[in-house]
Amino acid sequence: MTDFIRFFAPLYFIFFFITAFLGASLLVYTRTGRRPDVLPSDDSAYGLIGRYFKIILTALFIYTLLILLFPEKILSAFTIRFLDHPVSRYAGIFMMVSAFVWVITAQIQMKDSWRIGIDHTTKTKLVVTGLFRISRNPVFLGMTVALIGFLFLVPTIISFTFLLSGHMLMQIQIRLEEEYLLQQHGAGYMNYKKTTGRMLCFH
């Protein structure tokens, strides 16, 4: 199992990033001529969130590469014992693969409304069909499930830290986006909020 994990973990996140972020962004840019990556790089609170996202992603990549290079040492360091079980690891793999498929499906359903950040220059279409019927934020939900799966696959305090910090940043980002969507879509978004939960069908 160790040999599988050492290769699966880095390859998963590399493939996830290339497909779910670079690939989706390239498709939107090709169709619209607009860059979907609109995270600010200024000194605002929103800009700070964007920088923290990038720091966490970079740290996650480094951690998975360390797993590849030094599997025995990294996988045995700071272990959460009650999760250190083959069943948990298989559950983690299932969650990570399912989350990847879920995120890609949500991005396809968003079409040209896909953005990394809040686009204040273009009014995008409010997507309420497909996975968006059961979750207002299926992409963030999928990313959260992927991090939970990674914790099950690599049950360490470090993996838990990635899950906790990533979840907190995503929750902040979600609320910022909700304010923007309310301004852009008004009553339409309010009605959508009443029928569809922030992460799942329940509120």
Q: Is domain 1-195 classified as CATH 1.20.120.1630?
A: yes
Alpha-carbon span 155 to 139, nearest angstrom: 23
The answer to whether the beta carbons of residues 109 and 58 sit under 8 Å apart is no
Q: Read off the pTM.
A: 0.91
Helix/strand/coil for 85: coil
Dihedral of alpha carbons 60, 16, 51, 170, sign: negative
How many CA atoms lie less than 13 Å away from 186 in the CB half-sphere? 1
Bridge partners, 79 (sequence order) = 156
**Average of per-residue pLDDT across 76-88:** 95
pLDDT of residue 9: 96
Q: Judging by beta carbons within 10 Å of its beta carbon (0-12, 13-18, 19+), is residue 146 exposed, middle or buried?
A: buried
Instruction: Give the DSSP letter string of 70-81.
Output: SHHHHHTTTB-G
pLDDT at residue 78 greater than cutoff 80: yes
pLDDT of residue 124: 80
